[in-house]
Amino acid sequence: MCGRVSGCKKELALGKALKGRVYWQRRLAHAWWRVRRAMGLTKEPRRFGAVVEGKIYRSGRLDPVSLGCVVEKVGIRTVVDLGAFVDGSAEDIAIKEAIEKFGLIRHVFRLRGTGGGDPQQYINALRVLKDASAHPVLVHCAAGAQRTGVCVLLYRHIFEGVAVREAYRETIECGHPASEWRLLAYVAENIEGIKRGVEEG
């Protein structure tokens, strides 16, 4: 685990090493998703996948169609939104109405698009992910890469005991830019406080 920003050099080196391969895999995967979505071959949200099968899922931003797909496919009961939409925007209102239509619970914890922001928001989100009564739960942001990536990284480390380095590898594979050091700096600075906050809650 990185105890401080200067302790993240190995993780940054890993990111640089993976950058080329993962970058093109990510670009191709997104392009293929857009083609399939345009052709009506999929209704899934971008970067949809299981964190813990049957319990926790992740994705990019939702719309009423993709929400319906996820409800039908995995039966989610709870949505954790890490700030995919501007509060009160047309998209925000549309997804709020769709969530109410499906009888789901929505928690909104607004964070920065880079994955940073108030650590308390991650603590709140992780408490929902930990709560078995909320399962199956879908956690998402706009792209499903940075805010969602940090949330899943924290979940892996705090609840599953996965080393930050391994959890960070998953974050890169799910779309976080490999050369973006600010996410690692944020995690290094806040992970112990977030862990204490979750445990105390």
Q: Where are the domains of the chain?
A: 5-196
127-148 pLDDT, tens digit each: 999 999 999 999 999 989 899 9
Distance, in Å, from the CA atom of 135 to the CA atom of 22, rounded to the nearest integer, reads: 30
Q: Under 8 Å CB-to-CB from 44, ≥6 apart: which residues?
A: 33, 59, 66, 69, 70, 73
> Which residue is it, tokens 């931003």?
61
- DSSP state, residue 60: S
145, 179, 146, 182: which is closest to 18 by C-alpha?
179
Spell out the CATH class of 5-196.
Answer: alpha beta
**pTM greater than 0.85:** no
C-alpha distances out from residue 54 to 46, 73, 74, Å: 19, 10, 7
pLDDT level of residue 44 (50, 70, 90 thresholds): confident
pLDDT: which is higher, 68 or 43 = 68
